[in-house]
Amino acid sequence: MIGVVAVSHSARLGEAALELALQMVHGGGAQVRVAAGAGADADGTPILGTDAVSVASAIDDLATECDGVLVLMDLGSAVMSAELALELRTSDVPVRLAPAPFVEGLLAAVIAAAAGGSLGVVATEAAAALDAKTGQLQGDAPVDTASVETATAVPSSAVPASAAPASAAPASSPPEEPRITRRVRVRNPLGIHARPAALIAEASAGADVRLRRLPGGPEASAASLSRLLVLGARRGDEIELSAPDGDEQALAAIAALFDDGFGEGVDDAPTSAHSGPPAAAPAAVPAVAPGTLLRGRGVSAGVAAAFALTLAPPVLEPDAATVIAEDEREAEASRIRQACVAVAADLRSRAAASSGEARGILEASALLASDPDVVAEASALTRDAGRSAARAIWEVAAAHLQALESLGGRTAERAADVRDVRDRVVAEILGLAVPGVPQVTEPFVLVAHDLSPADTAALQGGRCAAIVTEQGGPTSHTAIIARSLGLPAVVGARGATGIAAGTLVLVDGDRGTVELEPTRERIAAATHAATVTPFDGRGRLADGSSLPLLANVGHATDARTAAAAGAEGVGLFRTEFCFLDRTDAPTVAEQVAAYRGVLAAFPGRKVVVRTLDAGSDKPLPFANADHEQNPALGVRGLRIARRNPQLLDDQLRALAEAASAESAHVEVMAPMIATVEEAREFAAAARAAGLERVGVMIETPSAAILAAEMFEVVDFVSLGTNDLTQYTLAADRLLGELGDLTDPWQPAVLRLIAAVGSAGRAANRAVGVCGEAGGDPALAPVLVGLGATSLSMTPRSLGRVAAALGALTPQQCRAAAEAALAAATAAEARAAAAVAIAR
């Protein structure tokens, strides 16, 4: 399975795009995470921006379940954050950054992933996502061709060959095996647009089903959203379906979709304009088999296992045919007001008995119930048209629901609140029991289509262990209250309502999964995996010798998180985060303020600051040229000072001012050092600015080989294992298909690290590791054995690395390092180190 990460400046945009994409897949087969926004300000207002730590966390979250991860980005710094996230992540799952349109690409990628496509296939579908729209605009209206090309073009170096747009791929030769065919007609009003295409892709179930528009139209694979849209099939068009012998079931399933009009109505059976549910009882939901794994969106962390409990039956739609006699309408209308008053009073009573988020949400529901406009509109329907009180409320609510849902995003999530109030008022009018959560004494997992605020708030202090809903989003009241109550919750889990009551369910609110009838061993493993390994704030080996464990941070929020996690200091402060979303460099004063925010989180402790590392995969408009033939080997890191020395001078001055204003022990280092001359010049500039402890990054093989000479001019070095591996193996670390080469366990990389460690011991100087390898619990002992004197990582890795090192002596670390160095391959190095440690 392939996971998808959507990186957006706007939380609302990210959530809305995800909601649109997930509405297209109905089998729960897509794993998607959104890393959007940059938190909130003091007033709670969302901040536009992106956070590489959040992106890295999303990738690592998907890595536990997925064979690869595709990352889509909206614009600007989202690309930089996604690229930096590859340094921050702790997993080694193949990752590809897609140069695809954000919304269309996310839609295509999610559908391709849900259909079981490989990372290459999912990337191809995302890259081709604009083909249908471009083709339609070029065919139907005058188009500024230059503008279209500008909007869709990307540098060829940014797109792997395997991710070329689907439309550019050569037509596949006809299959040799016998194929069966079937002709169908497009019957729904809008033809094959995104939703029908998604249903076709899902129904193909991996079979080689092809569609061709007759006569003589283009052909498309049923599994490809982009090619299905390019078909341009409209109502009345005839389509030929074909599949190999043996795939009749998939062919029949797709034909049935056409016959049904994809659930949108057909030309000879118009759909009803009424927005409410049918008057008859809902159709039975297909049962979900034991052993099934459902996927949704984890909105409240934690793991819990208990038996499923479903909500009481919903209130059915009141009969529309009933007409109240004119002389009875005034009395009937008064029942509306009485019922609304009663429901509002009940909700206010519930609110008074609740606290926190639950209380506020229930109070808002009480206001909905007593809304004078709703009462007036429903009463008018009864008086003027003879609607029953229950029917009048239902129709007024239907109009409100339609208005909310048409707005999408967070506003659409409020529709559940309106439905809840509607059902309560209707139940009050008809004298029915209000649907809701049954009272039970045993722990349970509450499973529902969606939950109302009152239902969710009623869980406070009860026996509910977790929540699973088929609908809902991260800002729904289900999510908000679940987090406030500390209940694991998964929303948007397609098929959840098919879980039979009494089924043992394992809910993982971190990974967004729901497992049916798990074994005891599986429950124990999931519970253990969800347990955060504590870190007491002191890294050490088994003999008590100190090994500082530091954090990698990008801004003040990261620093505060790292300090709370127990980090002993900062081993890498990536200052380029302070330059994001800008077309010009920040002033010295702006930089001082940003740097002080990080330093203030670590009073009296070490903070190692890396000067601006722009260029290559992290370009900034005011620092880098628009185009370089080979940016990874071009003007990046310290080399920017060759073109713009003022950038470096201002940054060193700002760092010195920030250091003098805070009590943190500031050390500064330069990235992309290749020669001793560069190291010497940087050290002189930093010390002239008032910074005493100066070092360099070891990211190039030349710097590693010259480590002994580097120590003659600097006080410490820090190994950037990500770039060191990239340059040693001549393999782009952002290219997923070269993941086997960009592995820090590669013997060539380990031997360069060993050379640096040896030089550090000889000079009695510090050798830090701040690359991704520093947070790997398996590799950390080897790095220590090779001479690392500190390790820096993401805060979430501190506990795991501390536990791994705390169980080993320095001798065991050296033995593991020697065994790995003697290996010929990365796999052999891993195995040899593990054997050495186990002895």
Would you please indicate which residues are annotated as catalytic (active-site) residues?
Answer: 477, 770
CA end-to-end distance (rounded Å), the chain: 37
- Amino acid of residue 191: G
Largest CA distance in the chain: 103
3-class DSSP state for residue 739? coil
Query: Which letter does DSSP use for residue 356 in this model?
Result: H
User: Does a cis peptide bond (omega within 30 degrees of 0) precede residue 744?
Assistant: no
Cα–Cα distance measured from residue 835 to residue 819, given in angstroms and rounded to the nearest whole number: 9
Positive or negative, the CA dihedral 535, 699, 697, 588 is negative
For residue 22, the number of C-alpha atoms closer than 13 Å in the C-beta half-sphere is: 28
**Angle of CA points 183, 188, 194, to nearest 5°:** 95
For 743-768, give the secondary structure using H, E and C: CCCCHHHHHHHHHHHHHHHHHCCEEE
Q: Is 717:765 a contact under the CB 8 Å cutoff?
A: yes
Distance, in Å, from the CA atom of 480 to the CA atom of 499, rounded to the nearest integer, reads 24
Burial of 220 (0-12, 13-18, 19+ CB in 10 A): buried
Cα–Cα–Cα angle for 47, 48, 54, rounded to 5 degrees: 85
> Strand 68-73's sheet: what is its strand order?
31-36, 2-8, 68-73, 95-98
CA dihedral (728, 731, 735, 739) positive or negative: negative
Say which residue the tokens 């439905």 belong to: 419
7 within 8 A of 36, measured Cβ to Cβ: yes
The identity of residue 408, as a single letter, is: G
Nearest to 242, CA basis, from 261, 267, 268, 214: 214
Q: How far apart are CA 773 and CA 638, in angstroms?
A: 23
**Around 117, how many Cα atoms within 13 Å sit in the side-chain half-sphere?**
31
Residue 761, CA atoms < 13 Å, CB-side half-sphere? 10
Best CA proximity match to 694, nearest among 686, 703, 705? 686
CB–CB of 71/89 below 8 Å?
no
Q: What are phi and psi of 682, to 5 degrees?
A: -65, -45
Across 277-422, where does the E strand assignment appear? 293-295, 297-300, 303-310
User: Is residue 649 within 8 Å of 685, Cβ to Cβ?
Assistant: yes
Closest CA to 460 of 484, 442, 477, 424: 484
Closest of 78, 146, 168, 69 to residue 113, by C-alpha: 69
Contacts of 107 (CB under 8 A, 6+ apart): 17, 20, 21, 24, 129, 194, 198, 225
Helix (H) or strand (E) holding 66: none
H or E, element range at 118:
none
